[in-house]
Structure 1
């Protein structure tokens, strides 16, 4: 072990200022469709926690504890093939900050362990040899380097970028990079404190065809891609795909009871093949969603016999039947909400919930028009002219006290110029969620007007997306 950022001098080459990387929407949609066509994947949680009977490794323990002395990544790949999986994802660094590759950034890694071998290299080589696509998992939260909420510094961001640069340049093409421990209620490292777009641009500059996926589905509506190319549901934590979801998604859960291996696993009960195939995999695939099933290697670095047998049983019940249902184009939000936290006004507020609730970057709160009102507006006012090209309007369906049916029958967005209001967009079809991409517009005041039966808005988002 060592102190945080003890080798920060090795970092700067990875963090030169970058321009926003242009992402072609048609190309992105093609990559998302190709990912969905893989249908079924394997998550592999192997790290310090494997040797600790824990789900998060203790960041104070010595790397010497890590010792998968009979590591067999070929066995993993063949087990994935037996289940008719199309891809896999390995935890290169979990929340405690131990790296499964020989990083040059000074972080604790495999070369300081009792098994001084590049585990990431062995994994990617075995799975590619078996004809499977390769993804990597990386935790933004890093307890060894003290990268946590309210402690993020430019040096820590540089460390993250340097480590991601190593993974994206040394291990060949990745189908997806799955991020975790970022903008979650339990990690609290926000996209403001550690800017999402900086990481997104880095990934796309190094591997344009690598999909970036963040574990943030619990924070944003299910009908849009906020800060992710593939919406990532943690089924194991109770996150559920909304019926009829239009966006490309992935749902993660476990074959064993938890993510990392436990001493009871060789004889413990596993999720049944019937449940995995009939209740998860097939319905998810019909809903634009892959299933990624975690299988935890034991302390020898191998899958237990019962896990191998269960995967083969899954393969006998399910075959990859070809291309997944087609998706349409999804608008992806990758920049901060310019309206978040800005001064807000409403047409009336004697009984209503305040308009600031629609500008707080929180999809669990909402503004509500006054009782008996069927025509109301909310407005955000900026200190100076602000340019934007994307709008999101989200109604608080299913929220407590609001109900499951849309109350909005019409809406419009206007900007104030020279004392007059100019309409930007409008709609008349009831819909709980609206995205509008517009020509870049500059304004100081932006107003959303809604009609309906005491309508409400959970978030009125204003973004300036690179394109």
Structure 2
């Protein structure tokens, strides 16, 4: 196994910067959190009510792909199976699958085809956890964790059998659908707050080393996340924004922030805690400025549609990305320190200044005077005047004082551009050696 995460074999990942996460399964029917089976301690027998009524008659993955593209996303990751154990594909290893519901078909086939037709990278999420499987031992997050006879129930369960099932299903997913670009496993908990009363599960439970070897053999170009309790190709901070570059083994590593629209991954009808488009754009910019990606989640309804609230958010994100995408795609961090309430990203010989707050008339950029040949607002390519102030000039009345030698001063319009976050595009001299 590698000693640290890497994506050298898949540079598309850190070029894309923005992807769509899709959590979709039986939990869309109760519509009150994707962990509803665990949170409400629901038995397999009672949960079957959702299996018997799963009928996504409005499912059209081409619309999902269209929404992702319009939002400026370049890859999509769909839950093939979440913790509830329900499979969206026609697995030969279980009857607990979409083909045996009123849906009556393999739901991954059109998904994969829709993404390929749209030029999007194809991603699968696959849960390591399975609350439906009869050999998956009961632990601190299992729906039956409070049953009076847990030890007796676990005595009849065999994780070796489940591990074989897990590996077999991953083999199906990576054999039957052509080239898969991305694989997100979820999740390990060998110790900590999720492994108190009963043993947790980590690399030994999943057979992670052998599993990764199989994946690399079947799909050599695929990238794998870091949740198998062994090193992956990138790390996945969830539901928080990292304060800086992510580290592993003492080195900076590729990372992807996994974020929800409203705190729930699956469709949660009554959850109104939606993030604004403004906040999401800032999160995206902030991540890229720290060399990270954003994987933004939607939870389709039980009929298979992205709900109107999520669609509106994607539309707003897409409006900003349409005009500002080149400050995000293919962009990376820089060692330059931006002014307060700003972020820098860089792509080639262009430096992008993202203004979270709109200043009065001028913004000063120390050390850049000799490195920038031209400046413009990115949204409309209108020129931003560059002013050279004499460092010796003393501030008096309406005359500003000079800035330190080498400072680039940009003269801004009083009116803020009517975009979510304004961006100034700075053209660097070819000989610029800025990091």
Tell whether the structures are fold-level matches, with TM greater than 0.5: yes
- Where does residue 150 of structure 2 map in the other structure? none
SS at match of 1:214: coil
Q: Contact 2:163 / 2:207 at 8 angstroms: preserved in 1?
A: no
- Where does residue 325 of structure 2 map in the other structure? 320
Q: Contact 1:32 / 1:230 at 8 angstroms: preserved in 2?
A: no
SS at match of 1:117: coil
Question: 1:92 and 2:71 equivalent?
Answer: no
Q: Contact 1:139 / 1:180 at 8 angstroms: preserved in 2?
A: yes
Aligned-residue offset at 1:71: 0.7
Aligned-residue offset at 1:286: 2.0
- Where does residue 75 of structure 1 map in the other structure? 63
Relative contact order (alpha carbons < 8 A, sep ≥ 6): 1 or 2 greater? 2
Supply the distance in 2 between the matched residues of 1:91 and 1:177 (Cα, whole angstroms). Answer: 10
C-alpha change, 1:326 and 1:262, in structure 2 (3 Å) is: closer
1:160 to 144, 163, 166: 166
Q: Contact 1:56 / 1:94 at 8 angstroms: preserved in 2?
A: no
SS at match of 2:214: helix
**Residue correspondence of structure 1 range 407-422 to structure 2 within 5 A:** none
**Residue correspondence of structure 1 range 53-452 to structure 2 within 5 A:** 53-56=32-35, 58=37, 59-60=44-45, 61-62=47-48, 63-145=51-133, 146-148=135-137, 153-183=159-189, 185=192, 186=194, 188-215=200-227, 226-235=230-239, 238=240, 240-245=241-246, 246-264=252-270, 268=272, 270-278=274-282, 280-318=283-321, 319-321=324-326, 322-325=329-332
Q: Contact 2:128 / 2:206 at 8 angstroms: preserved in 1?
A: no
Aligned-residue offset at 1:86: 0.8
Aligned-residue offset at 1:107: 4.4
Supply the distance in 2 between the matched residues of 1:82 and 1:312 (Cα, whole angstroms). Answer: 7
Supply the distance in 1 between the matched residues of 2:7 and 2:263 (Cα, whole angstroms). Answer: 34
Supply the distance in 2 between the matched residues of 1:108 and 1:127 (Cα, whole angstroms). Answer: 25
Long gaps (5+) in structure 1: 1-19, 220-225, 328-467
- Count of residues in correspondence between the two structures: 291
Structure of greater Rg: 2
C-alpha change, 1:152 and 1:243, in structure 2 (3 Å) is: farther
- Where does residue 352 of structure 1 map in the other structure? none
- Where does residue 34 of structure 1 map in the other structure? 12
Aligned-residue offset at 1:181: 2.8
Supply the distance in 1 between the matched residues of 2:75 and 2:306 (Cα, whole angstroms). Answer: 17
Q: Deviations over 1:186-232 (max 9, x none)?
A: 3721213333211111110110111111347xx8xxxxxx5211101
Q: Contact 2:22 / 2:79 at 8 angstroms: preserved in 1?
A: yes
Q: Contact 2:77 / 2:123 at 8 angstroms: preserved in 1?
A: yes
Supply the distance in 2 between the matched residues of 1:118 and 1:290 (Cα, whole angstroms). Answer: 30
Q: Deviations over 1:357-398 (max 9, x none)?
A: xxxxxxxxxxxxxxxxxxxxxxxxxxxxxxxxxxxxxxxxxx
Supply the distance in 2 between the matched residues of 1:316 and 1:284 (Cα, whole angstroms). Answer: 19
Supply the distance in 1 between the matched residues of 2:56 and 2:263 (Cα, whole angstroms). Answer: 21
**Residue correspondence of structure 1 range 451-462 to structure 2 within 5 A:** none
TM-score (structure 2 length as normaliser):
0.62
When structure 1 is superposed on structure 2, of 310-319 and 185-194 the one drifting more is: 185-194
Aligned-residue offset at 1:113: 0.9
SS at match of 1:320: helix
Long gaps (5+) in structure 2: 38-43, 140-153, 247-251, 335-435
Supply the distance in 1 between the matched residues of 2:86 and 2:333 (Cα, whole angstroms). Answer: 39
Aligned-residue offset at 1:242: 4.5
Supply the distance in 1 between the matched residues of 2:263 and 2:244 (Cα, whole angstroms). Answer: 26
Q: Contact 1:94 / 1:138 at 8 angstroms: preserved in 2?
A: yes
Q: Contact 2:17 / 2:292 at 8 angstroms: preserved in 1?
A: yes
Q: Contact 2:33 / 2:264 at 8 angstroms: preserved in 1?
A: no
